Amino acid sequence: MSIVICNYEVISPLGYGAQENWRNLFIKDYSPNYKLNISEFQIADFLWETVACEFRDVVPERVAVVLSNSKYNFSAFGDETRFVNTFLPHNLSSYVAAKIGNGCIPYSVSGACATGIMSVMKGVEILNRGIADVVLAGSIEASIVPLMQASFQQLGVLSKRRQTLPFDRQREGFVIGEGGAMFVLKKACEAVNYPKIAGYSYLNDAYDLVAFNPNTQSIERAIKLATSDISNIGYVNAHGTATKINDALELKALTTVYGQTDKRPYVSSTKGHTGHLLGATGSVELALTLLSLQHQQVIPHKELSNPMPEIVPFIENSPTFIESALTLNYGFGGHVAALAISR
C-alpha cells in the first residue's frame, strides 16, 4: 500500500521553514547560515510546531516517531546534569514522542549521512507492518563542534575555501551545516491528495569504511530498485558532496543508469546551497526535493562555473513537468540509499 507525506517542515542553513528555504534556493548571492546556534532539541521544537496539528486526535499507542541523529546531540556534551537524557542519539525521538503522549513508540536509526532518508524508510516499514497508523520521521543534526571539524579535516574532505561545489571541476570538499526535517507519514487510503513515497532502496557497498567501490554497482542498483521506471524521474537531488572521488563515482553511476535512455533527469545537489548536514542531510534534502515537486521546478546548482563533463548531459534541459523525483544519499561504512517521490 502506498505511503504519503501529509505534512513536513525543514530548517537548514537556508532558513527556518519550508517557504524560506525554497525562496533562498533561488537567491544567487544568498549566504548560508551554516551554524544555527541552537540545540538539536530547539530544532525539534521548531519543526514540531508545524506538524503538531497532525497529532491532535490520534491514539498515542498507534503513533511512532523515527527521529534520528547519526552522531550525538553535541549541545549536551560535557554537561553531566543532562548527559543521559539529552546527549545520546535516541534522546531526540523520545523527546518528541513524549509530546504525542504516553504509549507513542520512539525509534532511532543510524546510517551515517544516509540517516535521514533511512529514518523515512523505517517509517514506511512501520506503517506497512501495521505497527502504527501515523509515523513522524526525520533527522536532526547540529555537529559544528571542534571534534567533528577536526575529524573531517583530518579526512581531507572539508573545503578550504568554505565553498561546496558539487560536480564542479574546482570542487575540493564541503562545508558542514546544521539543520533537520520532519515528515508525517500515513497510508494513502487515509490521505489521497499528498505526495507519495514511490519507492526506496537501502544497500551496503561493503567495500571500505569510508570509500566507495569504484565499480559503482551498488549506487546503480539502488537507483533502479527505488523506482519501477527510471524514465519517470524528472529531477534527481544527488548526494554530491563536492569531494573529488564521491562526485566522480556518483556521476559514473548515473551515466551508466541513464546512458542508454533518451530521457535524462535534471541532476543537482542541494549541498551547494546548504553545505553537508551529515545525519540531517537526507531529511533536509528530501524536504527540498518535495518542494521541487510541489513547485514543479528543479533546484539549480548554486555555483557551477566549471562543470565536470559528465554532469553536462544532466543539466542541458529542465523538465517542464516533474511527475517523480529521486533523492540519493550515501554514508561512511558503505550505506547507499535512494528514495523516490511522486505527485
Catalytic positions: 113, 239, 276
The cell numbers describing 24, all together, are 533562498
Annotate 69-106 with b (16+ C-beta within 10 A) or e (fewer). bbbbbbbbeeeeeeeeebbebbbbbbbbbeebeeebbb
Q: Which has the closest alpha carbon to 179: 37, 280, 306?
A: 280
Inter-CA distances, 91 with 44, 73, 228, Å: 11, 8, 36
Q: Which has the closest alpha carbon to 149: 159, 161, 139?
A: 159
Q: Which has the closest alpha carbon to 222: 199, 241, 206, 245?
A: 199
Inter-CA distances, 258 with 131, 215, 253, Å: 37, 16, 9
Alpha helices in the chain (DSSP H): 18-25, 40-51, 91-100, 115-128, 146-155, 217-226, 244-258, 271-274, 281-295
Do 243 and 155 contact (CB within 8 A), yes or no?
no
The cell numbers describing 93, all together, are 525521538
Residue 261 CB partners (closer than 8 Å, separation 6+): 230, 231
